Structure formats: structure tokens, C-alpha cells
Amino acid sequence: MNKEITKLAKEAKERQDKRVSLGAVQNFEKKISGFENDNKSFNQKLKQIASLKSKAKSEFKTLQKQFDKLRSEGDKLIKQADNLGVSAQEPFNLQAQIANIYGKGWDNDVLRFVHK
């Protein structure tokens, strides 16, 4: 009888070792739920970033067109001054000012991200 009790106790211990407690399962489920919520939150942030990226890319293209147009106008003024034989210093200075304004304070890493 002692052998049977010892055997039953040993089997019970082995089953207990193999069982996962209900609390551990519930804790794991909470972690999964938290992970799912974090994933949804991150997904929303990615959507916001994509929207901002699209807007920034559009604004950049507009700025680039303005810059190109101003540079072209400056080139024409310099050429006209040259043709008239007058100093082109003022249009040249204005064109240099345009070049100094364009891109001032821009973060190149962010700009590269916007262009991708």
C-alpha cells in the first residue's frame, strides 16, 4: 500500500509539474492583449507619419518649383543686365540670397526620408 501511495504521489507531482497554472495563462493573455494594443497604436503612428510624409513631399515639390522659377528669373535679369552693359551685381546678390534661403535649417536625414 505504501508503494501505491508513493506511486500516486509521484504521478500527482509529475502531473502538477506539467500543468500550467491558470494565473500564468491569464497573465500571458494580458501580455498578448497589451502587445496587440501597442501594435495598433504603432500602426496609427505609422499612418500619421505616412500622411505627414506625403504632405511634406508635396510642399517640397512646390518649394523646389518656386526655387527653380526664381533662379531662372534671376538668370534672365543677369543676362539682361549683361546685354545692357550694366552691373549685374544686384540680381546676382538676390540670386545668392535665394540659394541661401533654400534648404536653410533642413534636416538632411528627414529630407531623404521624405524623398523615399
pLDDT one-digit tens code per residue, 28-85:
999 999 999 999 999 999 999 999 999 999 999 999 999 999 999 989 988 888 888 8
Kindly give, in sequence order, each residue whose CB lies less than 8 Å from that of residue 99, ignoring residues fewer than 6 positions away: 71
Give 23's Cβ-side CA count (13 Å radius).
0
Alpha-carbon distance of 26 to 50, in angstroms, equals: 36
- Global pTM reads 0.63
Is residue 78 within 8 A of residue 91, CB to CB? The reply is yes
pLDDT of residue 111: 84
- pLDDT mean over 13-35: 80
pLDDT of residue 19: 63
